[in-house]
Structure 1
Amino acid sequence: MSQLKKGALLNYTTIFLTNVVGLFITPFILSHVGQAEYGIYIAIGALVGTISLLDFGLNNTIVRFVAKYRAENDRKGEENFLATTMLIYAVISTIVFIIGFTFYGYIDTYFTKMTPDEISIAKTIFVLLIFNIAIGLPGGSFTGICYGYEKFVFPKTVNIIRYILRTVTVVAVLTMGGKAIALVVIDTVFNGIFLCIEIYYVFFKLKVKFILHEFKFKYVKQIFGYSTWIFIFAIVSILQWKAGHWILGRVATPEVLTIYGIGIVLGTYYGAFSTAISSVFLPRATKMAVGNATGEELTSMMIKIGRISFIILMYILGAFALFGNQFVDLWVGKTLGEAGSRETWLIALLIMLAYTLPLVQGFGNSILEAKSKLSFKAILYLSFLILGAILGAFLAQSYGAIGMITGTVTGWLIVQNVMNFYYHKVIGLNILRFFKELAYKTLPTVGLVFIISYFINYIPGTGWINFIVKAIVYSVVYATLIYKLGLIAFEKDLFKQYFAPILNKLNFHAKTK
């Protein structure tokens, strides 16, 4: 199996681990550190995570340029490029320390809703995380070098091992009485250890060298010229997922931050399931866009990918809308309480509703990238997410976490509607046809499933067994009706191809008995 295929497999393994293990580890951490400390941990993490923007997209730039120099067999150019990026990272790390030192003195005046003890915990976590960012930003370049050398297996395997060991260590330390600060100490230690492992691999296995043969500002200009739009999309990501944390950190208590943070986590899990499936089709889609495929051909591919994503997303969204409140209450209700669990569920549900269309139209981003049209989307997202964050900050004064997420998703919804006009008028996609064929068979079938599944809620009981029974009944109803009524021929063939090996084995065992 090639490095690329192994890397893809390891990538899906990572997605599975982070999402599934995350679902189990979150209530464990929450119950051991407490709602207030968990909120501090999330808020400071989001605040320091914003400083990671200083990476300016250099990691992606390293992958691109290392691959370029290797293709050209330009060893000297590669050495000079890597030495130049290390000098840039040295400046960035210095700036991180300066910003961290400056903001440290204002933590107690910024987080006005925290007690003196909570401020002390926040300051300790802040110092540790600033150190993590300062070494983590240049450290990430070694992963980029591995990718540039098309060595995907080693860094991804190391990442999986680190995640597993980190999870086991967290469970052990918290069981022995550790709190939020212990979580950051664990991450700091593991980051240092595994960074040393990657450095060893790059220097001694790949034989990479960092040699500054000459320093010219044109190299710096070239580096930042490529990373500019990557940097802007990083700002967009920060505004999407982290802005609410540091806005609420100013106006709300740590307990509210915990409710908001867990709602955000559930919302991001929603996107991961769709991305893991649709990304399989994206390489072919990119080739179509680069090969000057017509608007109708691109629309057909977008429909094909969009329908598969839509079917998966509707299964998850329907389950969460119908039974999500019960799940969240069982999952973290002991710590958050009934009101906190319901608010967490509503935040996650709002994210899922607003996030569905961008995920279903994920192929559109591949088209924009292939046609070098990302600038419009980046500026649009940046503008309206800033406005969404401002609206959220205003609403948060009265409605807390619900107000914050309402403002944020309002920005998302406006952007996606504008993007549909852009796809139609500028890119040449037939958006009306897209929605018509997306809804064909699937939408009425999903509506029927939701109506039938509403009555599943009347199955008596309240515990985990009751929830699992409801989930199984819902899954059977959804899978049966979607397959019988909602799938077109292509999707049924895809389903049969995927499950054919399993079904053949089952038939073989049945015949031999």
Structure 2
Amino acid sequence: MSQIKKGAFLNYITIFLINTVGLVMTPFILKNLGKDQYGIYLTIGALIGTISLLDFGLNNTIVRFVAKYKAEKDKKGEENFLATTMLIYSMISLLVVIVGAIFYYGYFDSYFTKMSPEQIKIAKTMFVILIFNLAISLPGGAFTGICSGYEQFVFPKTLKIIRYVLRSFTVVCVLLMGGEAIALVIVDTVFSVSAIAITAYYVFIKLKVKFKLHSFKKSFIKEILKYSVWIFVFALTGIFQWKAGHWVLGRISVPSILAIYGIGITLGSYYGAFSTAISSVFLPRATQMSVGNATGEQLTDMMIKIGRISFIVLMYIFIAFTLYGYQFVYLWVGDELGRDGSLQCWIIAMMIMIAYTLPLVQNFGNSILEAKNKLSFKAILYLSFMIIGTILGAWLAKDYSAIGMISGSVIGWLIVQNVMNFYYHKVISLNILRFFKELAHKIIFTLILISIMGYGITHIPGYGWSNFLLKSSLFTIIYGFLIYYLGMIEFEKNLIRNTIQSASTKIAKLWKA
């Protein structure tokens, strides 16, 4: 099996592991830290995530240029490029420390107005440790980028899995021994620095990569930054999409509200991971079609295929969460957040799922934009409306707290995706009307029937974990049966049959061996 296939396989394991362990660890951490410290932990993490934007997309740029020099067998050019990026990273790390120091000494106390003096003290300690972590990890991330440029995916992804498992185990031990939020930040920093050191050793010893400045040219730095600018814009968009709410609520809300908002965001972000894991299998083929000058109708056909599969997966999660999600959230974190807090988490996650469904179903469109080098319009559009959504959310948050904050962001998402549909239709020549018509074919009627039957299941008496598992199991059986026999077209049925047959064959071979 090639490095690419092994890397893809390990990527799916990572997605599954992070989502599964995250669901288990979140209530455990919340219970042991308490909602106030957990809210501080999430908010300071989001603040540091914002400062990490000072990377300017350089890590992704390293992958592209290293792959280019490797293909050209230009070892001298590669050495010069890597040495130049390390000089840039040195300045970035210094900038991170300066920005962190300015915020720490000038604005920290006055910004987090709803925190007590003791909470401010905890938050400041965490901030200092995470600034140090960031100053090291930003240039350290270059080593993972080098591995990707060399198409060496197995080692860094395996290391990531091992790191995540060991980190989770260590967090459990630390919390059971009475550790608090500061201890978790220290654990994260230790594992981060260790992973960087191990990856650096692999790059220098195994791959025999060297950093050597043969010549320093300002034009070369401009070329590097020119490539990374749109990566930076998308990263900035992601910050406003997922982390801006923490900044706003951190100023006007008590830490317990930050915990509610953070858990709602976490649940919403899990929603997209399942769809992305499915649709990404088809994206390389889609990119090849775009590069091969496929017609608008041919691209629409592929978008429909990918979109329907994603839609089927997403609707299973969406309908189940709509019907049984509040019960799940209350069982999951209700002991710490109470019924009202659990309800708010559920509402926030539901709002994200509603806004996030269409972009996920049309994920193929982003691949087309990338292949046609037309990402700039989407990047600027998304960034503009994410900023507007954050401002609107901040205004609504004054009266409606966490629900108000997410409402502003969701409105921004919905507007952007509707504009993008006009763009896909007019500029990319995708037949959007046919896309929606064929997306709904057979599926919508089936989903209505499933929803009615699923609602009937909600009346099964009881409210504990066994009751939830009974309801969700019955729903899963009904969904799988009806969507297969009533909702799927022949292509989708064949895809499932072939997948099951292939998996059965591999299991049989392993059993015989």
* Band of TM-score, shorter chain: over 0.9
Name the aligned partner's letter for residue 57 of structure 1: G
Quote the residue 2:83 is aligned against.
Answer: 83
Q: 1:464-511 CA distances to partner (integer Å, 9 max, x unpaired)?
A: 000000000000110010011000010000010011246679999xxx
1:22-33 matches, cutoff 5 A = 22-33=22-33
Quote the residue 2:239 is aligned against.
Answer: 238
In 2, distance between residues paired with 1:192 and 1:235? 25
**Displacement, 1:298?**
0.2
Name the aligned partner's letter for residue 439 of structure 1: A
Equivalent position SS for 1:171: helix
1:219-234 matches, cutoff 5 A = 219-234=220-235
1:197 matched to 2:198: yes
Name the aligned partner's letter for residue 442 of structure 1: I
1:327 matched to 2:299: no
1:373-384 matches, cutoff 5 A = 373-384=374-385
CA change 1:224–1:213 in 2 (3 A) is same
Quote the residue 1:18 is aligned against.
Answer: 18
Quote the residue 1:395 is aligned against.
Answer: 396
Name the aligned partner's letter for residue 124 of structure 2: K
Q: 1:357-394 CA distances to partner (integer Å, 9 max, x unpaired)?
A: 00000000000000001000001001111110000000
In 2, distance between residues paired with 1:229 and 1:502? 40
Quote the residue 1:280 is aligned against.
Answer: 281
In 1, distance between residues paired with 2:508 and 2:143? 48
Quote the residue 1:369 is aligned against.
Answer: 370
Name the aligned partner's letter for residue 63 of structure 1: V
Quote the residue 2:125 is aligned against.
Answer: 124
CA change 1:233–1:502 in 2 (3 A) is closer
**Displacement, 1:353?**
0.6
Name the aligned partner's letter for residue 19 of structure 1: N
Name the aligned partner's letter for residue 375 of structure 1: S
CA change 1:504–1:70 in 2 (3 A) is closer
**Displacement, 1:23?**
0.2
**Displacement, 1:192?**
1.3
1:158-307 matches, cutoff 5 A = 158-307=159-308
Q: 1:152-189 CA distances to partner (integer Å, 9 max, x unpaired)?
A: 00000010000000000000000000010010000111
In 1, distance between residues paired with 2:264 and 2:347? 8
In 2, distance between residues paired with 1:503 and 1:119? 56
**Alignment TM-score, normalising by the size of structure 1:** 0.98
In 2, distance between residues paired with 1:20 and 1:189? 23
Equivalent position SS for 1:114: coil
1:54 matched to 2:50: no
Name the aligned partner's letter for residue 286 of structure 1: T
1:39 matched to 2:39: yes
- Segments of 4+ in structure 1 off by > 6 A? 503-508
**Displacement, 1:452?**
1.1
Equivalent position SS for 2:114: coil
Name the aligned partner's letter for residue 434 of structure 1: F
In 1, distance between residues paired with 2:489 and 2:505? 23
1:423 matched to 2:452: no
Name stretches of at least 5 consecutive residues in structure 2 with no aligned partner. Answer: none
1:87-102 matches, cutoff 5 A = 87-102=87-102
Quote the residue 1:460 is aligned against.
Answer: 461
Quote the residue 1:150 is aligned against.
Answer: 151
State the percentage of identical aligned residues: 68
Equivalent position SS for 2:281: helix
Name the aligned partner's letter for residue 47 of structure 1: L
Name the aligned partner's letter for residue 332 of structure 1: V
Quote the residue 1:511 is aligned against.
Answer: none
CA change 1:504–1:89 in 2 (3 A) is closer
In 1, distance between residues paired with 2:320 and 2:183? 35
Name the aligned partner's letter for residue 146 of structure 1: C
Equivalent position SS for 1:280: coil
Equivalent position SS for 1:458: coil
CA change 1:88–1:335 in 2 (3 A) is same
In 2, distance between residues paired with 1:115 and 1:14? 38
In 2, distance between residues paired with 1:138 and 1:86? 7
Name the aligned partner's letter for residue 104 of structure 1: Y
Quote the residue 1:411 is aligned against.
Answer: 412
In 2, distance between residues paired with 1:504 and 1:492? 18
Q: Over aligned residue pairs, what C-alpha RMSD do you find? A: 1.2
In 1, distance between residues paired with 2:405 and 2:30? 22
In 2, distance between residues paired with 1:406 and 1:231? 25
CA change 1:52–1:505 in 2 (3 A) is closer
Equivalent position SS for 2:216: coil
Equivalent position SS for 1:42: helix
In 2, distance between residues paired with 1:222 and 1:507? 53
1:73 matched to 2:66: no
* Count of aligned positions: 508
Name the aligned partner's letter for residue 86 of structure 2: M
Equivalent position SS for 1:213: coil
Equivalent position SS for 2:427: helix
Name stretches of at least 5 consecutive residues in structure 1 with no aligned partner. Answer: 509-513
